[in-house]
Amino acid sequence: MRQPQRGDHLCLFYQRLVELWPLAAAFARGGLASGEQCLCVTEEYDPDTLLSALRDHGLPVPAPTQLLIRTADEIGLTANPFSVGQAVSAWQLLAESAIAAGYKGLRLVVDMSWILRNPSSLARLAEYEARAEQCFSAASITALCYYNQQRFPEEILLDALRTHPAAAVEGRIRENQFYIPPDIFLRQDRRAQFYWHLRQLDPSRRTTLDGAESAPPAKASPWEAATRRRPIPLVAADNHPPEDPANWRWQVYCLGKLRVQRHDGAFVNWNAAKGATKKIKTLFAYLLQRGKTGASAEQLADLLWPDEPDRHKTMGRLYHTIHALRLALEPGLTSGRDSRYLSIREGQCFLRLPDETWLDVEAFEQFCYRGERLLEAGDDDNALACYLAADKLYTGDLLADIPLIYAERTDDDWCWSRRYWMQEMYLKLLVGLAGIHRRRGATEEVLACARRALALDPCNEIGHREMMLSLHLAGRPDALERHYQICREALRRHEGRPPESETVRLYESLAQPGAHRAHPQTT
């Protein structure tokens, strides 16, 4: 355990508020006492609630300009698309402003729920935290980033853990043994990460990037002596290979139209080689789904040219399509053998994107599952946050622009069943959102979610029941009657059946004269 020091970048993971407020208040109080300006960035709680909670835990009343409470919107963190550089620059400018005003530095208490606002900030959280770590120690910024564990999938929490040198655990600040320095983390070099962790287990060893060892210096340098609280870099900065943006995570969006975004923000141009764009995208999507298994030339030819009997012709077309995909992923590529992302080995074709590339499909599933569990536990607040994050990710059906001739294959169902499964997940998300909004009295939001659910599936009776409940709560009996008739007609036309007994009972109870507006929850 130790006290916070200027330039610290700490993380705090909490499930209960009793784990958050005492340490957040103590952290802010320490900044005020040391002459720093304190900025609290709130997302989950409104500014008045945050200030009240901090004061209830001992935060004094400072000078008007020494304690600031702002929302993530006011800081500019929620821009879409999210820019890591702009976010880090915003902190630098705020620190410079604090120092210009006579303060010794800037102390941040940041609610990290703002990253749930849009997919691009979710995708780039790890890079943001690593870049922020580089910035804070040099810019007189001391930061506490706190994460509500209920709202974040473990993959995101793990990235946060690996990018903070210290963590607050059980009310105490501890050195983080899982931390990886930005100069190693941002390269996504697993070998370097391994030898970094090995070095931490045995500090007497001077393990280099390649695993070789050299003798330790007879005496610590002044720089090392001054920074003992932080791990010593694995390799001297001038020995680092230049950072290659191609090695950092890409972002792959499969919900809606297939889009692939490189680290530099540029999207893959599928027609870079003037080829058949739909076939190139289908080839990428199929190999992505196949993962480490890869696909044989015969499988790919059958997928892309199912009705072509001339195998020699299809193989020529296939290798042209593979070449076009390589050029789309690496526009400057001169030889297929040099491709980092698409290779052919022993007759199998493999797609290998940068390590830990972010996939919107995986994030969507994680937030849906987490939201469902929270909803079952009666935690509407955190379930709402998870469902809203998932809702932003679902921009359309899985691989919506892959032609049906390639997606609907009975002999090799690589897309269609999962597309249907994702639709079902999204439908369940919408009716779950409708229920949460209804319990909060947000009638318009209920109606919007129910309409979206019924547009996907006109026979979804939970959606119909949510619609009827919201119309009843809004005091619109005529609209309630009309919607019940719409429900009956939709079920008769599409499925040839009457409404379920639960739907009939709900309508009859709501249609009674003088029916109370605070009606029991539906399921």
In terms of pLDDT, which residue wins out, 196 or 487? 487
Closest CA to 360 of 235, 472, 261, 230: 261
Lowest mean pLDDT among 149-153, 182-186, 272-276: 272-276
- At residue 190, the pLDDT reads 80
pLDDT tens digits for range 24-55: 999 999 999 999 999 999 999 999 999 999 99
* Residue that is written with structure tokens 């919201």 in the block: 470
- At residue 171, the pLDDT reads 79
Q: What is the signed CA dihedral for 325, 328, 334, 338, rounded to 10 degrees?
A: -60
CA distances from 112 to 40, 83, 418, 441 (A): 11, 15, 31, 27
Radius of gyration of the chain (CA): 27
Lowest mean pLDDT among 94-98, 144-148, 472-476, 516-520: 516-520
- At residue 193, the pLDDT reads 85
Mean pLDDT of the chain, nearest integer: 88
* Tokens linked to 506: 């709900």
Q: How confident is the model at residue 234 (pLDDT cuts 50, 70, 90)?
A: very low
Asked if pLDDT for residue 227 goes beyond 60, the answer is: no
- At residue 226, the pLDDT reads 32
Asked if pLDDT for residue 519 goes beyond 60, the answer is: no
- At residue 239, the pLDDT reads 34
- At residue 356, the pLDDT reads 86
Distance from C-alpha of 119 to C-alpha of 124, rounded to nearest angstrom: 9
Q: Which helix (H) or strand (E) holds 466?
A: helix 461-473
In terms of pLDDT, which residue wins out, 171 or 88? 88
Tell me the Ramachandran region of residue 428: left when phi exceeds 0, alpha when psi lies from -120 to 50, beta otherwise.
alpha
In what side-by-side order are the strands of the sheet with 259-261? 259-261, 251-253, 358-359
Asked if pLDDT for residue 222 goes beyond 50, the answer is: no
Q: How confident is the model at residue 264 (pLDDT cuts 50, 70, 90)?
A: confident
- At residue 228, the pLDDT reads 36
Single-letter residue type at 91: W
- At residue 270, the pLDDT reads 94
Asked if pLDDT for residue 358 goes beyond 80, the answer is: yes
pLDDT tens digits for range 460-482: 999 999 999 999 988 999 999 99
- At residue 402, the pLDDT reads 96
Give me the residues paired with residue 145 across strands: 11, 110
Helices 277-290 and 311-329: angle between axes, nearest 10 degrees: 80
Lowest mean pLDDT among 34-38, 213-217, 440-444, 507-511: 213-217
Distance from C-alpha of 392 to C-alpha of 117, rounded to nearest angstrom: 8
- At residue 167, the pLDDT reads 94
* Tokens linked to 174: 């501890």
Closest CA to 13 of 137, 224, 221, 161: 161
Distance from C-alpha of 10 to C-alpha of 30, rounded to nearest angstrom: 14
Distance from C-alpha of 7 to C-alpha of 309, rounded to nearest angstrom: 67
Return the HEC string of 186-234. Answer: CCCCHHHHHHHHHHHHCCCCEECCCCCEECCCCCCCHHHHHCCCCCCCC
Taking residues 247-259, report their average pLDDT.
92
- At residue 201, the pLDDT reads 84
Asked if pLDDT for residue 376 goes beyond 90, the answer is: yes
- At residue 220, the pLDDT reads 42
- At residue 311, the pLDDT reads 85
Asked if pLDDT for residue 458 goes beyond 50, the answer is: yes
- At residue 207, the pLDDT reads 56
